[in-house]
């Protein structure tokens, strides 16, 4: 085992022996100094998770959350020095974590919060101007063949639970009252999108989710709209487009003749 491996193992294991060969500049006890360092490492990782998953923490309470985050951080230490995106594996961990099993929606709420973090740090792309989109109407026959590129920050979560509503209730002034209005067992699909500097969450219909999914996969506008309608007879294409345009989610369009971005 390499010295590095011994050091990092000792760092992530409570009560493990101090790695051999450590010295201190002021003759203090290396064992004690190492324990301080070990505590700082784990506390900063737990703090990072608490920052990224605030609603998940509110759902279970700080004590439970921090204990769960500690188990996670030991099992899945970060792979890069950038803590901003740490926790990608946390929702999957929660899903398989027996103590949290009674809160079936907890993992999906964590997934939504991870999508928010990812959207926050996603690359910028200039939104397609309304005039450019309007210009597409000039050639109706080609409209169905247009292919739209969407914002890198755009993410979707299909859940069997009311994830978007639960999340929204936790943003309310009176969280308890807002939660009273939510039935967690209602399936919801959440659209996550950064609009300017704000990451926003929208509840969208099954049809809208299908339509957006098809656009993400590179399907042309016409066929994607048909898929949306096939998935959901109530699919409202106009309002879905309105949401995407308003949020600046469309950032490029390819027609047969040209690419506009």
Q: Give the separation between CA 137 and CA 121, rounded to whole angstroms.
A: 34
Q: Is 252 in the site for other proteins (CB under 8 A)?
A: no
Q: Is 182 helix (H, G, I), strand (E, B) or coil?
A: coil
Binding mask 74-93 for other proteins (x = CB under 8 A): -------xxxx---------
Q: Is 23 in the site for other proteins (CB under 8 A)?
A: no
Q: Is 97 left (phi over 0), alpha (psi -120 to 50) or beta?
A: beta
Nearer to other proteins, 9 or 181 (CB): 181
Question: What's the closest the beta carbon of residue 171 comes to other proteins, in angstroms?
Answer: 8
Residue from 59, 112, 119, 157 in contact with other proteins (CB under 8 A):
59
Q: Is 251 in the site for other proteins (CB under 8 A)?
A: no
Instruction: Enumerate residues 115-144 that contact other proteins by CB under 8 A.
Output: 117, 120, 124, 127, 130, 133-134, 136-137, 140-141, 143-144
Question: What's the closest the beta carbon of residue 13 comes to other proteins, in angstroms?
Answer: 14
Nearer to other proteins, 1 or 248 (CB): 248
Q: Is 20 in the site for other proteins (CB under 8 A)?
A: no
Q: Say if residues 33 and 39 touch (Cβ distance below 8 Å).
A: no
Question: What's the closest the beta carbon of residue 223 comes to other proteins, in angstroms?
Answer: 9
Q: Is 18 in the site for other proteins (CB under 8 A)?
A: no
Residue 216 burial (C-beta neighbours within 10 Å; 0-12, 13-18, 19+): middle
**Where is 184: in which H helix or E strand?**
none
**Where is 261: in which H helix or E strand?**
none
Q: Is 225 in the site for other proteins (CB under 8 A)?
A: yes
- In 3D space, the residue among 217, 211, 210, 200 whose CA is nearest the CA of residue 241 turns out to be 211
Within 76-200, residue ranges assigned H as helices are 90-95, 106-121, 130-135, 140-143, 163-169, 175-180
Is the torsion defined by CA of 162, 175, 52, 49 positive or negative? negative
Instruction: Enumerate residues 158-177 that contact other proteins by CB under 8 A.
Output: 164-168, 170, 175-176
Total residues contacting other proteins by CB under 8 A comes to 90
């Amino acid at each position: 085992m390499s010295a590095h491996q011994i050091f990092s193992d000792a760092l992530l294991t409570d009560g493990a022996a101090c790695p051999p060969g450590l010295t201190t500049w002021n003759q203090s006890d290396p064992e004690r100094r190492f324990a301080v360092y070990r505590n700082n490492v784990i506390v900063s990782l737990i703090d990072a998770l608490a920052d990224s998953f605030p609603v998940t923490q509110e759902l279970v309470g700080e004590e439970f959350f921090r204990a769960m985050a500690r188990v996670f951080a030991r099992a899945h230490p970060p792979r890069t020095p950038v803590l901003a995106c740490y926790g990608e594996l946390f929702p999957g961990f929660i899903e398989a974590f027996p103590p949290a099993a009674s809160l079936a929606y907890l993992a999906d709420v964590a997934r939504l919060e991870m999508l928010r973090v990812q959207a926050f740090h996603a690359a910028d792309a200039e939104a397609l101007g309304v005039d450019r989109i309007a210009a597409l109407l000039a050639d109706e026959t080609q409209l169905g063949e247009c292919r739209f590129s969407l914002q890198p920050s755009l993410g979707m979560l299909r859940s069997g639970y009311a994830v978007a509503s639960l999340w929204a209730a936790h943003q309310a002034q009176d969280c308890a009252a807002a939660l009273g209005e939510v039935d967690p067992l209602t399936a919801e699909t959440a659209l996550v999108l950064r609009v300017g500097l704000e990451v926003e969450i929208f509840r969208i219909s099954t049809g809208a989710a299908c339509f957006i999914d098809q656009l993400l996969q590179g399907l042309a506008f016409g066929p994607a709209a048909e898929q949306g309608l096939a998935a959901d007879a109530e699919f409202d294409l106009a309002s879905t487009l309105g949401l995407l345009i308003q949020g600046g989610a469309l950032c490029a369009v390819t027609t047969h003749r040209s690419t506009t971005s």
